[in-house]
A and B are shown apart, each in its own frame.
Chain A
């Protein structure tokens, strides 16, 4: 399934009978925040798929600590390397996870961390290369109530 952020938002808005006004407002705010962070990081440049690979579980075993990692395909030379990678959890009240800066001395552009996910959402990894080009990968991570499988 490829849930876009728009669909995620609609999903939140659609559960009319069960959603509160407060949580809808939070979702709208978080979405604006993500747009702002992406615009700042990319300098308004269009991101393309490829180069960066984000690894995340399809379903989180524990939403409080979800292991994620990324690698970027790059020779990491002085004139062709990864400058930085930004991670966003698009469905969290505060979407910013962190930004990792690299230099040619880093050798490779890769990192892993654990993040908290409030609910099912997309996690986005965006790489800025030394020439200013932008690459992106996203994964939907489902956060479930659990149980009943078998």
Chain B
């Protein structure tokens, strides 16, 4: 744990190590990194949008290693957000070793994490939000929650999202949208909405009978003398990626025609600025900006992409504010003659060792966690290596889960979903219940064990792969590739569906997976109703407890071709 004092001292040490040539600016910048620096912003205009998204139940500061692979295909290859590591640094002109480099890339991750410490913590975010409200005045600020807020931790699972609802209330959001929220079931979603004093917006959810809107689509605000419409967009493929039976009466989809109608309606009602609070995913939003007219700003979420500043697609400004509470997105808009004429933007990394804790939020976090704190901190094992999840094809946390599934369920092959949520543990850290649940907290946790033919396994891999690498983002669902244990394979993302996955080989037998042969497969997070088996978090607690120390994990089972 680094205190702010340690932080400054460390920076001073670096200065002496790197000397006075090229290292000076960098080291000096580190020495000076303060809360005020993080808040520095080219303020302008009448409206400030603050965006926090995909917090996934994380109230406390955390490590989150950015991905090594985040491929884009078709028109989206090699452009943000599909840049990682040094390509990312070069594109955005960020110095290697700088705080921004640590916040946005996995370059030298472990050393950087030890230097700069954890990011996030809703009490730190609250401090930033209050400071910005103070600077701009409440009447200019819109605080927007991009969704995936209520799910992702031990306490969020035990309280059915109530811990997050209670804490977020203190940020005084003006609106929110949803995705994983729906996995608490339709009734719980409605129950929480009744408690909230801000709207839950969705332009793209209709009831299955008459296709009538279920939620409000739009909320109008008057900010800084400007009429602003915020339109909400839920994750379009929630009933496909997640269990439809938990909210059987609701139908989602992109519904670009409905969105266009709602944008037009907002304009007719006098909106000078139209903001889309979106949970579509960044590429979907990039395309949406070209096919729906009249949206000034899209606040992007879902795909957990974090880019240091907004991009523009035509006249639309897009900002994607990352995940896990690591960042607070900010856009200032200058509106003249009913039009956005200028803007400034930034993704503020929430360096937890540099930002003061907001006392009110800190107390609330302690309060909601109190009944569970002891259990959360219970140590079940230790990791010798780096445990992380995010990346297109595999992560060490998932490698561990895949191995646990094989051993605890006596399977030959295991499947683990390509979720993008889940935090990071540094080498040598204890594994606690809190840590385990950042990877597994969910309302449909049963681990199935069944026989599948080689063809079925191939079909699943191809299907999920197309969700990720279909050249048309409107056909993408936004997760990463399904993680596979007990099997190696080759993947060619640029090919068409049916042709991407080849060379499927069983690790156990060393032989190719045969289409007509059956294999015992264990997996979790099935979207089918009535899936039976132990909960993934219980199974993994048992497995980690049994092995005690998790050795460093290497995964050379997936060969990526053509990228």
Number of residue pairs spanning A and B whose beta carbons lie under 8 angstroms apart: 95
Do B239 and A61 touch (CB < 8 A)?
yes
User: How many Å lie between the Cα of A100 and that of B237 in the bound state?
Assistant: 30
A residues neighboring B (CB under 8 Å): 1, 7, 11, 14-15, 17-18, 55, 57-59, 61-62, 67, 112, 120, 140, 142, 144-150
Contact with A along B335-362 (1 / 0, CB 8 A): 0000000000000000000000000000
Decide if B92 is an interface residue (CB 8 Å cutoff): no
Binds A, one of B220-228, B496-504, B539-547: B496-504
Give the interface size bracket for B toward A: 35 or more
**Contact between chains at A148 and B417 (CB < 8 Å):** yes
B472 touches A147 (CB 8 A): no
Are B463 and A145 within 8 A (Cβ)? yes
Q: Which of B79-87, B100-108, B159-167, B452-460 makes up part of the contact surface?
A: B452-460
Tell me whether B455 and A150 are in contact (CB under 8 A).
no
List residues 233-289 of chain B with CB under 8 A from any CB of chain A. Answer: 235-237, 239-242, 244, 251-254, 257
Contact of A150 among B236, B239, B478 (CB under 8 A): B478
Chain A residues near B76: list those with CB within 8 A. Answer: none
Q: Is the CB of B251 within 8 A of A144?
A: no
Check A11–B496 contact: CB distance below 8 A.
yes
Tell whether A14 pairs with B499 under 8 Å between CB atoms, given A61-B239, A67-B211, A150-B419: yes
Q: When chains A and B are docked, how far (Å) is the Cα of A90 from the Cα of B242?
A: 28
Instruction: Determine whether the beta carbon of B180 is less than 8 Å from that of A61.
Output: no
Interface status of B61 (Cβ within 8 A of chain A): no
A17 to B421 CA separation, bound complex (whole angstroms): 35
A148 touches B497 (CB 8 A): no
Residues on the A chain within 8 Å of B237, using CB: 59, 149
**A-B contacts, 23 listed (Cβ < 8 Å):** A11-B497, A14-B498, A15-B498, A55-B257, A57-B253, A58-B474, A58-B475, A61-B251, A67-B211, A67-B251, A142-B466, A142-B475, A144-B467, A145-B463, A146-B241, A147-B464, A147-B527, A148-B417, A148-B418, A149-B237, A149-B240, A149-B477, A150-B479
Give every chain B residue within 8 A of A14 (Cβ-Cβ). 498-499
Q: How far is the CA of A17 from the CA of B458 in the complex (A)?
A: 11
Q: Could you tell me if B240 and A1 are in contact, using CB atoms closer than 8 angstroms? A: no
> In this assembly, does B140 line the interface, its C-beta being within 8 Å of a C-beta of chain A?
no
Shortest beta-carbon distance from A114 to chain B in Å:
10
B244 touches A148 (CB 8 A): no
Q: How far is the CA of A98 from the CA of B403 in the complex (A)?
A: 51
CB under 8 Å from chain A, chain B span 516-540: 525-527
Q: How many Å from the CB of B57 to the closest CB on chain A?
A: 13
**Does B482 count as interface, using CB distance less than 8 angstroms?**
yes
Residue of B nearest to A140 (CB): B475
B-side contacts of A61, CB under 8 Å: 239-240, 244, 251-253
Do A58 and B498 have beta carbons less than 8 Å apart? no
Q: B496–A62 contact, CB under 8 A?
A: no
- How far is B281's CA from A59's CA once the two chains are assembled, in angstroms? 15
Nearest-Cβ distance from residue B243 to partner chain A, whole angstroms: 9
Q: In chain B between 136 and 174, which residues have their CB closer than 8 angstroms to a CB of chain A?
A: none
Question: Which residues of chain B have C-beta atoms less than 8 A from A55's C-beta?
Answer: 257
Q: Does B409 belong to the interface (CB within 8 Å)? A: no
Residue B471 lies at the interface, judged by CB distance under 8 Å to chain A:
yes
Kindly state the separation between the CA atoms of A62 and B527 in the bound complex, as whole angstroms.
12
> CB-CB < 8 A to B458: which residues of A?
18
> A144 and B472: CB pair below 8 A?
no
In the complex, what residues of B have CB within 8 A of residue A17's CB? 515
Give Cα distance in the complex from A149 to B470, angstroms.
14
Please give 20 more A-B residue pairs, beta carbons under 8 A apart, in addition to A62-B239, A120-B497: A1-B471, A11-B497, A17-B515, A58-B236, A58-B254, A59-B240, A61-B240, A61-B251, A61-B252, A112-B211, A144-B463, A144-B467, A145-B464, A147-B417, A148-B241, A148-B419, A148-B464, A149-B418, A150-B180, A150-B241
